[in-house]
Amino acid sequence: MGFDSLIGGTIWDEYSQKVQDLMNNPKNMGEITQEEAEAMGTKLIVADFGAESCGDAVRLYWAVDPKTDIIKESKFKSFGCGTAIASSDTMAELCKGKTVDEAVKITNIDVEKAMRDEPDTPAVPPQKMHCSVMAYDVIKKAAAQYKGVDMESFEEEVIVCECARVSLSTLREVIRLNDLTTVEQITDYTKAGAFCKSCIRPGGHEEKDIYLVDLLEEYEKEKMAKAADASSAGADVPFKDMTIVQKIKAVDKVIDDNIRQMLIMDGGDMEILDIKENGENIDIYIRYLGACSGCASSSTGTLFAIENILKEKLDPNIRVLPI
């Protein structure tokens, strides 16, 4: 039975076509025997890694040229779900032709990105992101075995979640890429914070230098800074070239600075409903509020004054249309 018969409708749509193809037809599944490795003049490396959180496990086979440290062949066996198979197959493919030192630099983000159909669209749903983390870990296990060192010696990055082995750089990239705003979302995407929970915030059984809540706060500040920069930059952009949000903000500012106070003094006000380009014209649709909605001058003198000020301050092709 293929995986396409096990996963229905909406869920299936969350997987890239590459992942779907590899689930059913992995290219690198199998093993490398000692005899095959010797025939290639290589050293056989067999590394196992299991994820306690879901019960999945992967076995990685490398045939490494001892003279150059180049991985001449890479295969795997996966004991787990379809996503684990696809991730492991992609991981094995990425290892081929690389030196052991180069392979160690392959991250779970590299594995997940390699499975995407589109650069900015995740290859798998959030709850399956941890499968690529397992692929990332088994590479380090194999490299440690080849070099005769401890697996931890390859860890050059800060590990925020020890339970799921999720690094600081991975968390930052996943948060930014998917615009995450809660700890629960981070856990869905990476499994960080799913187990002992010490990495979520201070107060757990293990003290950390940085926590998930710190990363969310850092990202929020980064977004606010970018928004402020964009707003500042927008002041130098011609009105017709602004985004719709920038245009509405620019019109509101002109109204606030020049018109609104007079309307309020007469018991009225106005609001911007929409801004649309109409040929050479830029049509601004407004609605009068309070006393202005029934005032005779709202369609004559007041409208003329509003339109003239917006033309002067923003663009001569502006037309103001009350609704």
Evaluate whether 183 touches 136 at the Cβ level (below 8 Å): no
| pLDDT, average across residues 247-272 | 90
Name every residue whose Cβ is closer than 8 Å to that of residue 177 and which is 6 or more positions away in sequence.
120, 122
Torsion of CA 287, 293, 295, 300, to 10 degrees: 20
Of 43, 111, 115, 54, give the one whose Cα is nearest residue 79. Answer: 54
Q: Which two tokens stand for residue 87?
A: 């991730």
Give the tens place of pLDDT for each residue, 51-95.
655 667 899 999 999 999 999 999 999 887 888 899 999 999 999
Give the tens place of pLDDT for each residue, 148-206.
998 877 766 788 987 777 889 889 989 998 889 999 999 998 889 887 788 999 998 77
Q: Which two tokens stand for residue 244?
A: 């719709």
Q: How far apart are CA 284 and CA 3, in angstroms?
A: 53
Pinpoint the alpha helices (H) of 28-81: 34-39
What is residue 11's predicted lDDT score, i.e. its pLDDT?
Answer: 65
| pLDDT, average across residues 115-134 | 81
Evaluate whether 77 touches 30 at the Cβ level (below 8 Å): yes
Phi first, then psi, for residue 296 (nearest 5°) are -65, -35
Phi first, then psi, for residue 210 (nearest 5°) are -145, 145
Residue ranges and CATH numbers for the domains of the chain are 1-151 (3.90.1010.10), 157-236 (no CATH), 239-322 (3.30.300.130)
Give the tens place of pLDDT for each residue, 1-37.
344 444 444 567 889 999 999 999 999 999 999 999 9
Active site residue 131: yes
The residue annotated as part of the active site, out of 54, 81, 196, 295, is 54
Give the tens place of pLDDT for each residue, 268-283.
889 999 999 999 999 9
Active site residue 95: no
Q: Which two tokens stand for residue 156?
A: 């050059």
The residue annotated as part of the active site, out of 95, 131, 163, 199, is 131
What is residue 12's predicted lDDT score, i.e. its pLDDT?
Answer: 73
